[in-house]
Amino acid sequence: MNPLNKLAAFKLDVLKEVGNIGAGNAATALSRLLDKPVDMNVPTVSLIPFEQVADKVGGFEQVVIAVFLRVEGDAPGNMFFIIDEDSAKRLLRNLLSMDVQDEGYSEMEYSALGEIGNILAGSYLSSLADFTHLYLSPTVPAIAVDMAGAILSYGLVHYGEMGDSALLIDTTFLEGQEELAGHFFLIPDPESFDKIFSALGVPNE
């Protein structure tokens, strides 16, 4: 194998382990919150170019629900939990047993989705911090319903340039025979991925 390809594969293996542990922690936290078993599939983890993030959730004009928070500390960046409206409604109905309207969202529904996004983000971030021994602190999350392009632009407008790569963790909840899928993105600032991999003992190209 080409040394660069071998290095890229090793980096991805490390990030997959972070994703697996984070998903396990998230399932445990959600189970406690809801007082019922919550199962999550082993997540699919990948590194993608920043410009492909919107494509992964249906394109720039796809209306989605997003929980956004800023990561501060040794390796700052932006985090998004993005889910399409159909999955969000089913998540509220099936996982949270809420009586959900077909159109729009109540304040309680916003709060519930925000808490799920916050638990996921916190679990993945804690997993990454434990692996790297870096100080990583999330801000208070914000939740929005908008086109994917507008939501990604929010992070750019408020925090300047984002890095050119994103860590994508496809998160799938299991409710009986039904799967409810969401997308978790960590988009480190320029230079932050280098800090993360250096802390993991992975050499940079």
The β-bridge relationship of strands 165-175 and 142-147 is unpaired
pLDDT greater than 60 at residue 90 = yes
* CB 167, CB 71: distance < 8 Å: no
Query: What is the set of domains in the chain, with CATH numbers?
Result: 3-199 (3.40.1550.10)
124 pLDDT band (50/70/90 cuts)? confident
Which pTM value belongs to this model?
0.83
* CB 171, CB 165: distance < 8 Å: no
Non-local (6+) Cβ contacts of 40 within 8 A are: 23, 24, 26, 27, 171, 172, 173, 174
Q: How far apart, in whole angstroms, are the C-alpha atoms of residue 109 and residue 138?
A: 22
Q: How far apart, in whole angstroms, are the C-alpha atoms of residue 21 and residue 100?
A: 31
The mean per-residue pLDDT over the stretch 47-63 comes to 86
pLDDT greater than 80 at residue 201 = no
The β-bridge relationship of strands 63-73 and 136-138 is antiparallel
Gyration radius (Cα) of the chain, Å: 17
| Secondary structure class of 15 (helix, strand, coil) | helix
Q: Which residue has the tokens 């990604």?
A: 152
204 pLDDT band (50/70/90 cuts)? low
